[in-house]
């Protein structure tokens, strides 16, 4: 993914440079070309610095691929574990609703007495 981003950023830099050169030719009298070159350069510079800082942080943190291999041994266990978590939360929600309705019934019985 990063090489595609860098190619896009280089295209932004190319656009900035081309528009900068075009702004100073004798045939161009509009101010929009100059402003667009500045905008493209700012866009390139911001994107490039952000990507470099993210990559630097990713390389600095120490990942432990062994732990990931132990946690998710295969894609099938990943899916089955997540399915279990989702189904468990839905069943817990169902039982809570059931308990809540039972509590409301008990509450009504005490009020009637």
Ranges of each domain in the chain:
1-61, 64-113
Average pLDDT over residues 5-33: 93
Task: Give residue-wise pLDDT tens across range 38-83.
Answer: 999 999 999 999 999 998 888 887 665 555 555 555 666 666 655 5
CA-angle at 16, arms to 15 and 18, nearest 5°: 65
Q: How far is CA 92 from the centre of its chain?
A: 30
Token pair in block for residue 39: 């905008």
Q: Is the pLDDT of residue 105 over 90?
A: no
Res. 2 pLDDT band, cuts 50 70 90: confident
Quote the tokens at residue 4.
């595609």
d(CA 41, CA 9): 10
pLDDT digits (tens, 9 = 90+) for 88-104: 555 555 555 555 566 56
Q: Tell me the HSE value of 89 on the side-chain side, using a 13 A CA sphere.
A: 5
Its pTM stands at: 0.52
Task: Write the DSSP symbol of residue 1.
Answer: -
- What is residue 58's predicted lDDT score, i.e. its pLDDT? 85
Per DSSP, the three-state class of 22 is helix
């Amino acid at each position: 993914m990063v090489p595609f981003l860098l190619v896009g950023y280089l295209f932004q830099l190319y656009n900035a440079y081309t528009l900068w050169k075009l702004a100073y030719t004798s045939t161009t009298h509009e101010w929009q070309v100059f402003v667009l070159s500045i905008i493209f350069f700012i866009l390139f510079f911001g994107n490039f610095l952000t990507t470099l800082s993210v990559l630097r942080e990713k390389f600095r943190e120490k990942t432990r691929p062994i732990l990931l291999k132990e946690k998710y041994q295969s894609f099938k266990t990943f899916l089955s574990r997540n399915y279990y978590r989702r189904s468990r939360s839905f069943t817990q929600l169902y039982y809570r609703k059931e308990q809540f309705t039972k509590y409301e019934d008990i509450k009504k019985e005490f009020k009637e007495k």
